[in-house]
Structure 1
Amino acid sequence: MMKANDTEWDLVVIGGGTAGIVASRTAAGLGARVALVERAAPGGDCLWTGCVPSKALIAAAHHVAVARRAPGFGVSSPVGAVDFPAVMAQVKAAIEAIAPDDSVEAMVAAGVEVITGSARFIAAGALEVDGRRVELRRAIITTGARPAIPPVPGLREAEPLTSDTVWDLQALPDRLVVMGGGSIGCELGQSFARLGSRVTLVEALPRILAREDPDAARLVQDMFDRDGVHVRAGQPVVAVRGGAGHPGELVLDGPSSSSTVEFDRLLVAVGRRPNTAGLQVDVAGVQLDERGFVQIDDHLRTSNPRIWAAGDVTALPPFTHTAGVFGSLAATNAILGLRRTVDLSAVPRVTFTDPEVAAVGLPTWAENGERAPRTLTQEHAHVDRAVVDGRTDGFSRLTVGRGSRIVGATVVGPRAGETLAELTLAVRKNLTTSDLAGTIHPYPTYGDGPWNATIADVRSKVAAPIVQRIAAVLRWLRGLRSK
């Protein structure tokens, strides 16, 4: 590991999460001399507190749920007590198994020199890292984001858990209240309920997963009911009492009167805030928006032409996959002087609840009273793989634009994220329903959902004129017979 010095780098990347790691490796692969500044171990939220631990927890909870459903398949499989410390141990084991891919040693092997410490700008072309000056020709800000704590009276004093700190739990909470009905809140809430917590999920908006197809949110809500997750939607939190290691309660503002929800532990999952505090971006002439995100143009360049930004520190879609893609784009633009632009037309997203909810492109439902687009829906009750799995509680829905082009999709069901990959390509490449229908798919899979939806669409368009012609011929023949 290199120590910071007075060397001027071709590119300095500030932040060692997904965007920073991919940007650094991309630039080093192009022959640039790259320094990655990271105050802790590289890997970012995805490795340490996000994607990896949450999916490991979801996997453990999934096995509990499968065991409970086993009698329905003729298999006697009593579910024993959940060993929560063992669950958390396997979560940490998953992190440790993946961590070497993002380690300092891996970065050095890729040609990136790592500087450990906290960075702040001291000039348009220089950083200070723990008191040492680091010169730069170009830089990319990839400092990510952190969980937001809303200004609710008593909330901070209650010392709530967040998606950063929940992994320190060693005992399963008896009564867990989750603030926030978005992807993170729903994933963690369902997992803890399956592991044995009594979970109440509180959402200020009228329903959970507010940005997703209402039919998708309804199916997740139905599974929550079976898993024991009690949802209080349309009831914003107005105050928190107690907590901080002791039982507490949330005060909710209901449609007609206020109410309370008691908890042993409180988990806040209501969004994230960009990590720009202490970076002194104003010294470098880098502008922030009103929410604190780094402002960028379509090429990921900031108001300082020598500095780019990527990942959750920007207002772009906050996913690991977008952070990686845009980190690479920022690096190639910075090193090669290119002007490649950000393409948001086909950004996939997946909520890893059970059932999974995966979506891409234009919505599959009407918003704000606007006219709904043409959609094709295949209920999974008619998908053979879903039938044999006993998982017919899902659907595949496509939004179809002009020329029968696939412009959006929502898939709900097991491994919906995998099914979405093909549909993301379809949206990205302007494929039509005929393109998808004419492609041989393996059987039986959940991919049959969107495939069969497109087959039905093509058949309806082909069959209609044929039926009309046959009807005309039959009418003509009947006319001949009557003469």
Structure 2
Amino acid sequence: MSTKYDAIIIGSGQGGTPLAGAFAKAGHRTALIERTHIGGCCVNEGCTPTKTMVASGRAAYLARRGGDYGVHTSQGEANEVSVDMIKVRQRKRDIVTSFRGGNESRTQSAGVEVLMGEAAFSGSRTLRVEMNDGSVKEIEGNKIFINVGERPAPPKLEGLGSLDPSRVLDSTSIQELDVVPTHLVVIGGGYVGVEFAQLFRRLGSEVTIVQRGKQLLGREDTEVADCLTDILREDGLTVMLESEALNTLSTSSGSFDLAVQTKDKVEILHGTHILFAAGRIPNSDSLNLEAAGIKTNKKGYIETNEYLETSAEGVWALGDVKGPPAFTHISYDDFRIIQKNIISSPSATARLSTKNRLVPYVVYTDPQLGHIGLHEHEARALYPDNPKRIKVAKMPVSYVARALETDESRGMMKAVVDEETGLILGFTCLGLEGGEVMAVVQMAIMGNVGWENMRDAVWAHPSLAESLNNIWGSWNEIGHIYLFAE
């Protein structure tokens, strides 16, 4: 006999957990299926633990820089800092436990039935759940919501099997290290790779990034990516662009040799730990989606329409499993859309959708890289026959008084505007609290506030937002926004 529910949510990520609570509070019998822990990737392996560790890395960085501010430790001018990796790890674990506990208590108080196990479809709206205690449950739901997320892509490298498994890392296992690696080799120069690379450099590791592409952070405008690369190299990281790891050549106690093909030759790296940060894959492969008629793309991501409906009636997907952008705030906005359309306003004539959603994001390097709206190449693609319509402003963060006063003036700002309408199309801040500065511009974009209003606004002095006077400060005689860096 199967148990019937009004709503079944598979996966307790940042979209699924509040959705389960919303259904239960609305009087629907609701089941939430989770195979590991409540809260999903963000709370347990993603945002919360990584940014906790980034804070430890920044503390070490500032401790070493104390002399720049006239502050010296008892160790004098050497700026030697010791890192207790076990303490760093425990602090991370404690914060994760606290956040996870909050998710669990809210779910329980809402009246959600939590099934700890792994689900797979056995029919259009029926599921077989292999419970963690060894039992099996058959359940069916009027509505089913898939929120199972992603996981790190498995590493592919010849000779990898000869390495000590504890030294072969992904974005989850690296957070459980109890020692600082002597030499960490990071495969992949995307968002995950650069965050961990800078973090462990600050904790005391020698770090090398091996990136196949011509720049780090492939989706960013070239000059922004180049600026970040310069910052990382200034921090002592080795960045190898247009390079590819070939194979491990030899191993010894605590180390390995790695062959890397660069543009010109094969180089040998001597590493102690290797982090694979070159992609993630959806957790859809264990769901037996075929049994429910749920379509995926060639990468395994579940296909949805703008209302998050799948190809199967009565089944929705939200969060990372439906494909990029894979951000926690997108997962939560998916929840908002479904909650509004199905629970709170099901009879509304205008449904909320993902169409034209404005997506901000922050890369938590130091300085942060915050972005909202269109990149320059995306904006120019809107008007291929009128390239002069798109105007670009750039400014180094060294032009910002607050950044100079705090001695945190590395980075740059870039804005893309539509000359005909005066509206801001995109904005990037690679700088001190870049995510917070970006959010100010996001509000302007949301409110259709033009660049001239930002230029003419009275911002508090000295503040980082004051930079928004400067970046749009002047036009020259031919109508191009000044490039302050020149």
Indicate the TM-score class for this superposition, using the shorter chain for normalisation. 0.7 to 0.9
Give distance in 2, aligned partners of 1:27 and 1:219: 46
Task: Give per-residue Cα distances to partners, 1:231-267, cap 9 Å, x unaligned.
Answer: 1111012223456985223222221222222211111
Q: Is the 8 A contact 1:22 1:328 kept in 2?
A: no
Which residue of structure 2 lines up, in the alignment, with residue 395 of structure 1?
A: 412
Task: Give per-residue Cα distances to partners, 1:19-47, cap 9 Å, x unaligned.
Answer: 21132233334443321111122111111
Return 339-348 or 61-70, whichever deviates more.
339-348
Picking from 268, 280, 287, the partner of 1:279 is 287
Which residue of structure 2 lines up, in the alignment, with residue 449 of structure 1?
A: 467
Which residue of structure 1 lines up, in the alignment, with residue 70 of structure 2?
A: 74
What's the CA shift for 1:276?
1.0
Which residue of structure 2 lines up, in the alignment, with residue 95 of structure 1?
A: 96
> Which structure has the bigger radius of gyration?
1
Instruction: Note if 1:151 corresponds to 2:156.
Output: yes
Matches within 5 A, 1:284-323: 284-323=292-331
Which residue of structure 2 lines up, in the alignment, with residue 414 of structure 1?
A: 432
Give distance in 2, aligned partners of 1:244 and 1:281: 44
Return 392-401 or 403-412, whichever deviates more.
392-401
Q: Is the 8 A contact 2:63 2:81 kept in 1?
A: no
Q: Which runs of 5+ in 1 are unaligned?
A: 462-483
**3-state SS of the aligned residue for 1:134?**
strand
Q: Is the 8 A contact 1:250 1:261 kept in 2?
A: yes
Matches within 5 A, 1:342-381: 342-364=354-376, 373-381=390-398
Instruction: Note if 1:56 corresponds to 2:52.
Output: yes
Normalising by the residue count of structure 1, what TM-score does the alignment of the two structures yield? 0.88
Return 25-34 or 443-452, whichever deviates more.
25-34
Give distance in 1, aligned partners of 2:380 and 2:457: 36
Picking from 25, 40, 47, the partner of 1:44 is 40
Give distance in 1, aligned partners of 2:477 and 2:161: 58
Give distance in 2, aligned partners of 1:295 and 1:223: 39
Which residue of structure 2 lines up, in the alignment, with residue 134 of structure 1?
A: 139
How many residues align? The count is 456
User: What is the RMSD computed on CA atoms of the aligned residues?
Assistant: 2.5
Q: Is the 8 A contact 1:64 1:79 kept in 2?
A: no
Distance 1:374 1:27, change over 3 A: farther
Distance 1:238 1:96, change over 3 A: same
**3-state SS of the aligned residue for 1:430?**
coil
Give distance in 2, aligned partners of 1:304 and 1:422: 40
What's the CA shift for 1:368?
10
Distance 1:408 1:31, change over 3 A: farther
Which residue of structure 2 lines up, in the alignment, with residue 468 of structure 1?
A: none
Return 149-158 or 183-192, whichever deviates more.
149-158
Instruction: Note if 1:166 corresponds to 2:174.
Output: yes
Which residue of structure 2 lines up, in the alignment, with residue 123 of structure 1?
A: 123
Give distance in 2, aligned partners of 1:119 and 1:251: 41
What's the CA shift for 1:176?
0.8
| AA partner of residue 10 (structure 1) | D
**3-state SS of the aligned residue for 2:65?**
helix
Which residue of structure 1 lines up, in the alignment, with residue 108 of structure 2?
A: 108
Q: Which runs of 5+ in 2 are unaligned?
A: 74-78, 131-135, 480-486
| AA partner of residue 72 (structure 1) | D
Q: Is the 8 A contact 1:161 1:265 kept in 2?
A: yes
Give distance in 1, aligned partners of 2:218 and 2:380: 13
Which residue of structure 2 lines up, in the alignment, with residue 464 of structure 1?
A: none
Which residue of structure 2 lines up, in the alignment, with residue 13 of structure 1?
A: 9
Q: Higher helix proportion, which one? A: 1
Give distance in 2, aligned partners of 1:384 and 1:333: 46
Give distance in 1, aligned partners of 2:404 and 2:446: 31
Distance 1:422 1:276, change over 3 A: same
Q: Is the 8 A contact 1:220 1:354 kept in 2?
A: no
Picking from 307, 319, 325, the partner of 2:333 is 325
Which residue of structure 1 lines up, in the alignment, with residue 22 of structure 2?
A: 26
Give distance in 2, aligned partners of 1:51 and 1:299: 26
**3-state SS of the aligned residue for 1:12?**
strand
Q: Is the 8 A contact 1:364 1:410 kept in 2?
A: no
**3-state SS of the aligned residue for 1:117?**
strand
